Homo-oligomer: A and B are copies of this chain.
């Protein structure tokens, strides 16, 4: 199956009009994507990288720069040595200068690599999680470029870990098919929402069966205390509450500030400081325990995750489906997290992230961690209507993805409306 076409589209939804997604540093996000379509002998594979508006055209330019490495290749040749192919993409001798393995070039890599996964899974007639679950442990470790990881986890150790999980895979698949995967909801607590809207959304989410909630903090202590109080008023003390600071604090400032939020029994504080600050997260974690520290949505690559685990810097691994170089690198992080005993609670929301990470959580439980303890996957209720096979959520749990592929194909109506700058929504604006 030869890859004969690669197209990339700049797609932007005007979410900033309603402050959906607003937080302490992203005041006006337009949930967007660099959307990649691969054409291969009559089948299309789709992948995207989530962005938040301006600059999506830069990621599209990076996708075009990487395209010659994919075009005219055989899918079977790529998947037969996917780790090797991944290395060629991330280590291209001139493009690697733009990263390496971080920022725009890595976001673009993710869109392409995830489109390859979509293509592979469609051809296999399986959802991506099931394609991975049906691989042998040896095939699984062959998906990962092990460079830079061996001081924390070797390929052989990972193989042993996966072999030990083989027993019970079928039972865990059946369990998820019956019960779904635990989720938490973010979309009640955006920073730009007025208090009444937050109260109403909490009430609606409780009525729908949600038990885990996240709010945004980081503006000033008084208003953060107020927001947590409002959430606790609505949720009571039995439901779980997390808070997300979106990188606003210095390390000493985070520690001082979080003292004021301690009474609200937050399960975790998310991104309390720079996402690059492994040692800073470790210092904050030591100071605020028993409050947990969570990070990962802006973690640039597997080497940063490795260090977060080595340094004991995080209680929760919030891996993102697009910021790393596609699913192959996410699998490396799942293995590292399992080795270090850190629960994976993927970052989601945005445009398409829920659609992606359901597969990640399924793979984590069925193949890698074999545990649901202290785990839940983020959910936000925006923009799912634009996908051909949107996530399904019931009573606070994701339901099993069943459609072949990586669930990220956009509906033609969405592309016609939100293509930037020529879509009907943008011409109208």
Contact = CB atoms under 8 A, between A and B. Distances in A.
Chain B CB count within 10 A is highest, among A55, A253, A301, for A55
Nearest to A251: B151
Interface in A129-169: 147-151
Contact of A107 (B98, B101, B300): B98
A224 to B, nearest CB: 18
The residue among A58, A106, A150, A247 with the most chain B CB atoms within 10 A of its own CB is: A58
A276 B308 CA distance: 12
B279 A278 contact: yes
A49 B40 CA distance: 37
Contacts of A275: 100
Residue in A62, A107, A275 with the greatest tally of chain B CB atoms within 10 Å: A62
B25 A96 contact: yes
Contacts of A53: 94
A303 B276 contact: yes
A285 to B, nearest CB: 14
A100 to B, nearest CB: 7
Contacts of A54: 65, 92, 94-95
Contact of A55 (B29, B55, B59, B94): B94
B250 A151 contact: yes
Interface residues of A, number: 62
A61 B103 CA distance: 14
A104 B107 CA distance: 11
A27 interface: yes
B52 A94 contact: yes
Contacts of A307: 276-280
Given A276-B303, A277-B307, A307-B278, A104 B101 contact: no
A102 B100 contact: no
Given A25-B91, A52-B93, A150-B252, 5 more contacts: A30-B94, A51-B97, A55-B65, A58-B58, A99-B103
A26 interface: yes
Contacts of A58: 58, 61-62, 65, 98, 104-105
6 interchain residue pairs of minimum CB distance = A103-B103, A104-B104, A151-B251, A53-B94, A54-B94, A61-B61
A148 B105 contact: no
Report the copy number of this chain in the oligomer: 2
A298 interface: yes
Contacts of A107: 98
A28 interface: yes
Contacts of A51: 94, 97-98
Contacts of A276: 101-102, 300-301, 303-304, 307
Contacts of A303: 274, 276-277, 280
Most buried by B among A92, A98, A300: A98
A219 interface: no
Contacts of A25: 91, 93, 96
5 contacts: A29-B93, A55-B97, A62-B104, A98-B104, A104-B105
Nearest to A60: B61
